[in-house]
Structure 1
């Protein structure tokens, strides 16, 4: 009986240690993701998160952050005009996001990244891809909003779309800034489910509101 008790105690201790190690490593990687600036940084982090996910097997967040790192790499390249690379990066992000999606159902955060992947693909050729990738992205964001209507990242993406869309196509910088403000207000009260759950985006809302035209 004593041996059985000791064995169970050791197993419980090992499980707690493994979970603590996972949380520590993830916390460190997420912090690096928030601070990263270069495509090389994002590539390295995406690979790191994939390795963590492959090791853990049942955790969706490593694959989620791998997808986010790839998306941020794509957005970085988009800002420098390297549009010819976006399809490959979007596909890379999709591979990771599909792995995350297979491990968790009915979460807005997956759909938010799905919207961002469609946006990357659309930006390769906005005129010809709006009716395909643009509509798919809008559908993903609509589904996300039904699941989590007060999620500030949903409002943030709406703000981006509204701000950057020309007025003749329904966009408005004024309305976009109003949505950025709404997103920032939501960030003040929105609480992630755990310390590792997505909590990004406030910095972008702050940037737009601080640098109003």
Structure 2
């Protein structure tokens, strides 16, 4: 009987190990695609993929995090294409997944607050004049929370640099200041080490893109 129980326990452990390895491989593949995709349709497909993974891996916060990021990247892509009326739709979808991730990871997570900042900024861009005092202020609050929770987070520095770069000088921004902040962000990226291979590690290529002058 003891031999049977031991065999059963070892079998369960082996299955769990295989399941974990399978989860990590699937997530790694999807994350790599997310970092290299700027097609709205492909980003939507990836959001759906992460949603399915999250429904299976109910104790993991990262599938919901990446589903949210996919929706935000989709919104940013559509903003560049002038499809401004769809920004809130993507931001709201992202917030739903951020709520799911927060329920697992807790509220004191810099990465989640940073994505909430991006979601509020996306909503604001539908109508900046009307939404700056609402969504714009909420975006600033979330960015401050993200930075307070982890001052070393390079993605916080990256998004701050983007804000400065694209904000007109009469409102406190400038491309020159933005470039200096991108340099500071890149320094943080060069020393940053994610907690695991699946944890957020995106953004370095964006900082390099701006510093190369390609954004002009």
Local SS of the residue matching 1:197: coil
2:57 corresponds in structure 1 to 56
Query: Are 1:176 and 2:181 an aligned pair?
Result: no
TM-score (norm 2): 0.97
2:70 corresponds in structure 1 to 69
The 5 A counterparts of 1:1-213 are: 1-105=2-106, 106-211=108-213
Query: Whole-Å Cα distance in 2 between the matches of residues 122 and 194 of structure 1?
Result: 33
Query: Whole-Å Cα distance in 2 between the matches of residues 143 and 90 of structure 1?
Result: 19
Once the two structures are TM-superposed, the CA of residue 76 in structure 1 deviates from its matched residue by 0.2
Query: Whole-Å Cα distance in 2 between the matches of residues 204 and 29 of structure 1?
Result: 19
Once the two structures are TM-superposed, the CA of residue 37 in structure 1 deviates from its matched residue by 2.0
Once the two structures are TM-superposed, the CA of residue 95 in structure 1 deviates from its matched residue by 1.0
Query: Whole-Å Cα distance in 1 between the matches of residues 29 and 209 of structure 2?
Result: 24
Deviations along 1:49-75, one digit per CA (max 9) or x if unpaired, are: 000000111110000000000000000
C-alpha RMSD over aligned residues: 0.9
Deviations along 1:155-190, one digit per CA (max 9) or x if unpaired, are: 001101111111111112111111000000100001
Query: Whole-Å Cα distance in 2 between the matches of residues 174 and 150 of structure 1?
Result: 22
Segments of 4+ moved more than 6 angstroms: none
Once the two structures are TM-superposed, the CA of residue 102 in structure 1 deviates from its matched residue by 0.9
Query: Whole-Å Cα distance in 1 between the matches of residues 13 and 195 of structure 2?
Result: 24
TM-score (norm 1): 0.98
Query: Whole-Å Cα distance in 2 between the matches of residues 101 and 61 of structure 1?
Result: 10
Query: Whole-Å Cα distance in 1 between the matches of residues 150 and 47 of structure 2?
Result: 26
* Count of aligned pairs: 213
Stretches of structure 2 lacking an aligned partner (at least 5 in a row): none
Local SS of the residue matching 1:124: coil
Stretches of structure 1 lacking an aligned partner (at least 5 in a row): none
